[in-house]
Amino acid sequence: MHIYAEPFIHTTGGEVIHAAIIGASGYSGAELLRLLAQRTDVSVDVITAGASAGKSVDEVYPAFSGTIDLRFTSLDYASLEGMDIVFVALPSGEAMSVVPQLMGKVGRIIDLGGDFRLSSTSLYSRYYGRAHTAPELLGTAVYGLPEIFKEQIAAAAFVANPGCYPTSAILPLYPLLKSGCVSPAGIVINSVSGVSGAGRSSSVEMSFAEVNENVRAYKVGRHQHIPEMEMVLSKGAGAEVTLSFVPHLVPITRGIYSTIHATLAKSCDAAALSEVYRNAYADASFVRIRESIPQIKDVVNSNFCDIGFTVDQRTGQVIITSTIDNLVKGAAGQAIQNMNIMFALPEGLGLGTRKEEAYV
């Protein structure tokens, strides 16, 4: 069951969407603020933070000086009542205590964390290492991957924004699984991420001395995004998908790069794969199928997902590479893309291709 909203008609007569960001001082929340502040049809009325409550935005992010005149506040549910949309940009484990307090009091909710992506309490507790305190809401959020679930998103009142790693893996794999061009078994995904994916909280392992000139894998075989990827890809395949996923941390600030190995069906070749991708993403504003091998620098500060592939005749596999900016298509940009769909606006509004100076 999903929670759906009454249709919102966004007129051309100057109607403004009133928005709030809970957790606006983190990297994803600040990226949301940066992108939304450029729009005249959206008014960001409330931004909340924990330790930064009471500070102005430019005290925390000097890059916003002279452009955003807002102050972080503590979370006060009364100040959020009647908002057209609330973005929840909190660390995993925190949204499940917040979202129930918003239900029925605000127009729409987009959660950028992982608390409501899964429908199983057992899977959640297994991979996130904690009990879910709002199990009645599991399975009620629409999974917010616009290129696949646009119709459901358009009618939704509650959207769970996909994880950054899953976005980079699901978009290249879903059409191939749905078409039967690759096997649902034995998929291997190796991904690398910039350090901003870990959030803004400081830790020794994320310090410059630990990250610089270093590459390391982490959470091998137990990353919390594994069940999310398998759940969505299984829908596309119409069969259970099992995969091996290994994430790595690399010394860059932004970006995710995924290399995917999948067994190719005998009836499919490179031409067939190209046709599948063209058909699947013909109307997708932010998916680019590349003839050359994608690279992170071409998507940084953008909402694009670039995908390339090579058929390895020797092994009978297709090797897919995909890349996104983890803070834009992997978080804030995708959330805004979902908001645009929910409010019947052009999908790419406020998410142009122009690269702009970011705060991180």
- Closest CA relative to residue 84, chosen from 340, 329, 334, 333: 340
User: What are the catalytic residues?
Assistant: 164
Q: Are 72 and 48 contacting, i.e. CB atoms less than 8 angstroms apart? A: yes
Q: Are 298 and 306 contacting, i.e. CB atoms less than 8 angstroms apart? A: yes
Q: Which residue has the tokens 């450029």?
A: 38
- Closest CA relative to residue 333, chosen from 248, 256, 271, 273: 256
Distance CA 308, CA 147 (A): 17
Label residue 307 exposed, middle or buried (CB < 10 Å: 0-12, 13-18, 19+).
buried
Distance CA 208, CA 110 (A): 32
Q: Which helix (H) or strand (E) holds 146?
A: helix 146-154
Distance CA 336, CA 197 (A): 18
Distance CA 301, CA 92 (A): 24
Q: Are 216 and 288 contacting, i.e. CB atoms less than 8 angstroms apart? A: no
b/e per residue 92-112 (b: at least 16 CB within 10 A): bebbbebbeebeeebbbbbbb
Amino acid of residue 6: E
At residue 30, φ and ψ (nearest 5 deg) are -70, -35
